[in-house]
Amino acid sequence: MAELVGNCLIGQSGGPTTVINASVAGVVSEALNHTCIEEVYGSLNGVIGLLNEDFVDLAAESQQAIRGLRQTPGAALGTSRAKLKKPQEFERVLAVFKAHNIRFYFHIGDADSQETAAKISELAAAQDYDLRVIGIPKAVENDLPATDHCPGYGSAIKFIGATVKEMSLDADSMGQGDLVTIIEVMGRNTGWLAAGGSLAKRRDHPNDPPHLVYLPEVPFTNEKFLDDVRRVLKREKHCVIVAGEGLVDKDGNYVAVESGAAEAQVGGVGEFMKDLVESQLGAKARVARLGVAQRCAAHLASKTDADEAFLVGQAAVKAAVNGETDKLVTLVRGDGENYTCETGLSALSDVVGNLKKLPPEWVNEDGVSLNFQFFRYAMPLIQGEVVVPYENGLPSYVRLSRESVDKTLPAFEA
């Protein structure tokens, strides 16, 4: 096989994670090791940049900036929730790739967005355009199949776990009977993030807060909920609840939905619970909704997570240079007693359209707590702290200089 020589391109897609930029840093650092990769470009705002030929020259960024990406939240290249759908959009992307001699494309995204990578790969093959497409996983919600876990998840549950622990100390000290503290976390379809709240419990202290964890995988009923809270308030003097935003009833309908301008959006489950508790139990409840904070709290990132996010970026480049295409880099956990993790590859088609739910056998029979299997799984992912530089009392993050690559094609007419 003749060596493929050309330029590489990186795109970020979907909601950012605390460590999504560490994967960009991994790709850039590794790309510079391979002479077959000539230019290293980034696409601005993911697929939007692909369509509009909006590329920046990542090799022109300072080394400090690339190193700083390892601890900077948000998507440094910009991201987008847009999906390519029309055939002419994919045609356009291929035309753009050809115009810039893009031969290596790295797509950082969740299960849903890897479909774009798969389709680009497919079209390139159909057109006999030699292109290596490698997906890089990221998902704060940890719902990509094929990989043991997703970069972004460990940092999110480290922040959630610490916050639940701190809020529980606060609640416990209030000395107020019947105080219910509700912490609403993300998770439209899965309970991975809510489950992470239970890391706040001390080992062998099952009655530690959070006392109740509500997962989208376990159908929600008002009666069971009120019984649960009643039971905890009787046993403890207060009750700490972690609730995934995507709770559903036994028919699969969201318990709390906000109707936005653009689209129906889950959320508000904390307020929903507060109303129930106050109206039905006469207890006082207070709600915190961590919102986007949980996917960008780089001041408390997991070092394991940040290192693995960098690693999957490096591995993507190595795979592409070695002739792989149409693959997703995965994280593969070792079998040993001590946690180890290396990268693997999976077909992109394995992940598209699939969601990995929390295994039901990890949830205790009470439906509101996790057993040792979850702790064994999740504990290694939150280990270690990323050291962030501080400037004027706040974490200091980098911004890329984003030197534009000249456009060569006429503007795309949607």
Please state the closest distance from residue 23 (CB atom) to its own copies, in A: 14
Give the span between the Cα atoms of 157 and 199, in whole angstroms.
8
The yes or no reply on residue 213 touching its own copies (CB under 8 A) is no
The yes or no reply on residue 370 touching its own copies (CB under 8 A) is no
Compare residues 6 and 267 and give the one whose CB is closer to its own copies: 267
- Taking CB under 8 A as the criterion, the residue among 289, 306, 351, 358 binding its own copies is 289
- Taking CB under 8 A as the criterion, the residue among 134, 194, 287, 386 binding its own copies is 287
Compare residues 181 and 369 and give the one whose CB is closer to its own copies: 181
The yes or no reply on residue 291 touching its own copies (CB under 8 A) is yes
Stretch that binds its own copies, among 25-33, 56-64, 115-123, 162-170 (CB under 8 A): 162-170
- Asked whether the beta carbons of 217 and 368 are under 8 A apart, the reply is no
- Taking CB under 8 A as the criterion, the residue among 24, 37, 285, 319 binding its own copies is 285
The yes or no reply on residue 394 touching its own copies (CB under 8 A) is yes
Kindly identify the residues of this chain, within the stretch 306-345, that bind its own copies according to CB under 8 A.
none
Rounded (10°) CA dihedral 319, 322, 325, 329:
-10
Please state the closest distance from residue 393 (CB atom) to its own copies, in A: 4
The yes or no reply on residue 42 touching its own copies (CB under 8 A) is no
Give the span between the Cα atoms of 401 and 65, in whole angstroms.
9
Q: What is the contact mask toward its own copies in residues 43 to 82, using x (rule: CB under 8 A)?
A: -xxx-x-----------------------xxxxxxxxxx-
Please state the closest distance from residue 162 (CB atom) to its own copies, in A: 5
Closest CA to 109 of 148, 138, 69, 82: 138
Q: Nearest 5 degrees, angle CA 246-CA 250-CA 253?
A: 45
Kindly identify the residues of this chain, within the stretch 92-111, that bind its own copies according to CB under 8 A.
none
Give the span between the Cα atoms of 26 and 38, in whole angstroms.
16
> 240-258 in b/e burial notation, b at 16+ Cβ within 10 A?
bbbbbbbbbeeeeebbbbe
- Taking CB under 8 A as the criterion, the residue among 6, 9, 11, 15 binding its own copies is 15
Compare residues 59 and 288 and give the one whose CB is closer to its own copies: 288
Closest CA to 120 of 80, 75, 89, 77: 89
- Taking CB under 8 A as the criterion, the residue among 114, 116, 198, 302 binding its own copies is 302
Secondary structure (DSSP) of 124-184: HHHTT---EEEEEE--TT---SSSSS-TTHHHHHHHHHHHHHHHHHHHHHT--TTEEEEEE
The yes or no reply on residue 260 touching its own copies (CB under 8 A) is yes
Q: Return the structure tokens found at 276.
A: 């129930």
**Whats the size of the chain, residue-wise?**
414
Compute the Cα dihedral for 118, 124, 128, 134 and give only its sign: negative
Stretch that binds its own copies, among 307-315, 341-349, 353-361, 377-385 (CB under 8 A): 377-385
Q: Return the structure tokens found at 203.
A: 């080992």
State the pairing for strand pair 55-57/37-43. antiparallel
Stretch that binds its own copies, among 145-153, 206-214, 278-286, 308-316 (CB under 8 A): 278-286
Please state the closest distance from residue 175 (CB atom) to its own copies, in A: 4
The yes or no reply on residue 278 touching its own copies (CB under 8 A) is yes
Compare residues 79 and 121 and give the one whose CB is closer to its own copies: 79
Please state the closest distance from residue 307 (CB atom) to its own copies, in A: 14
Compare residues 124 and 378 and give the one whose CB is closer to its own copies: 378
**DSSP bridge pairs for 37:** 6
The DSSP symbol for 111 reads T
Stretch that binds its own copies, among 108-116, 264-272, 323-331, 362-370 (CB under 8 A): 264-272
Q: Return the structure tokens found at 390.
A: 């501080």
The yes or no reply on residue 389 touching its own copies (CB under 8 A) is no
